Amino acid sequence: MEKTTNQYLLLTPGPLTTTATVRAAMLQDWCTWDDDYNQDIVEVIRAELVKLATKHQGYTSVLMQGSGSASVEATIGSVMTDDDKLLVVSNGTYGERMGEIAQYLKIDHHVIRLAETEYPTATQIADILDADNTITHVAMVHCETTTGMLNPIAAICDVVKTRNKIMILDAMSSFGGIPLDIGELGIDFMISSANKCIQGVPGFAFVIAKQSQLELCEGRARSLALDLYAQWQCMQQHQGKWRFTSPTHTVRAFYQAIIELKQEGGVNVRHQRYLTNQYLLVSGMQNLGFRCLLSEDLHSPIITSFLSPTHPRYDFKLFYNELKNKGFVIYPGKVSNADCFRIGNIGDVYPDDINRLIAVIKTSMYWRDEN
């Protein structure tokens, strides 16, 4: 796989650093009416996504223009009827956004709001579902990149499915980088994005759904452009045709990214690379005196939050610019009650890159220079 020649390495949870070959795939224009685009690219992507998501039969996929949040909104707005009620499990920005979407769409909902550093438990969800039998759907985030926490989807999915509720999972930052089988877990709708662990570029997201559930969604959508069912039907009936303008260059880059995921060895191998990256990152940062926001048993291999130094001379913007000038871009913190910053390690990033980062951070800790 050709290494990137970017001016810096993006150590963020997406957009992320992509390979030169993924970027090069965008250097050609495509006609959206031609079979070599719709059948040979879009339909191949749709089939490959389902294969990545589950070994079970009965699942389908639909691609949607826009950001990951647009597809979360398309899903919530197209799946829920006026008689349904949504339970949102929130322990960060992206869980909170699901609740905000439901509020905007005037969908009956209840948000269980946990602290951003609090691990949701199956017991908490079970208690709410057992106390309120009007809840029909449950939505949560797999990897909450607000902190880097990996939420316990297996235990919570088990609670949801034993009570015959519909499960919606935002796997934006985890799908393609953490092994999971949505059929085994009983997930009905899973949402992710092109610019995350499959290592494509921004421009569209996708929903992998249990077909029998998606078929029930006709006429439910609260938006024309974000009608998940209508988009799926158009792709089904016209062999990959998008209802409105297709983000062709992004789609072609994603097709290349799927090829490169296979070349690397698949999700399990990529997961191991991310795990190694994250281990080297945490151990290297701790050796430099930094502390993680979360205990290590709550970490994901996607992104890690570090508490900011308490030294009076420390300023995140200065630290950020020091690193950027030396070829590395990190992320500001998003936690409401802790001063921290985040470093991601997904994308075209390898252990040698993490080792270089640690060496650069060591030379960029200007606040420790007493001169």
Tens digits of per-residue pLDDT, 345-365? 999 999 999 999 999 999 999
Is residue 173 within 8 A of residue 143, CB to CB? The reply is yes
Identify which of 225, 189, 185, 188 has the alpha carbon closest to the alpha carbon of residue 204: 225
What is the rounded average pLDDT of the residues 100-117? Answer: 97
- Pairwise CA distance, residues 126 & 130, whole Å: 6
Contacts of 246 (CB under 8 A, 6+ apart): 32, 37, 42, 65
Helix (H), strand (E) at residue 228:
helix 228-237
Q: What is the pLDDT of residues 268-280, one digit of tens each?
A: 999 999 999 999 9
Burial classification of residue 254, based on how many CB atoms lie within 10 Å of its CB (0-12 exposed, 13-18 middle, 19 or more buried):
buried
The pLDDT value given to residue 14: 83
Question: Do 195 and 201 touch, CB atoms closer than 8 A?
Answer: yes
323 — phi, psi (to 5°)? -70, -40
CA dist 23 and 5 (Å) reads 11
Average pLDDT, the chain: 96
Long-range contacts of 173-176 (CB under 8 A, 24+ apart): 173/13, 173/14, 173/142, 173/143, 173/145, 173/197, 173/300, 173/302, 173/303, 173/346, 174/142, 174/143, 174/150, 174/300, 174/302, 175/52, 175/53, 175/142, 176/52, 176/261, 176/267, 176/270
CA distance 183 to 186: 5
Over the stretch 10-62, which tens digit does the pLDDT of each residue have?
A: 999 889 999 999 999 999 999 998 999 999 999 999 999 999 999 999 999 99
pLDDT at 3: 53
- pLDDT of 88 reads 98
Give the per-residue pLDDT at 33.
87
Contacts of 182 (CB under 8 A, 6+ apart): 53, 54, 56, 59, 169, 190, 208
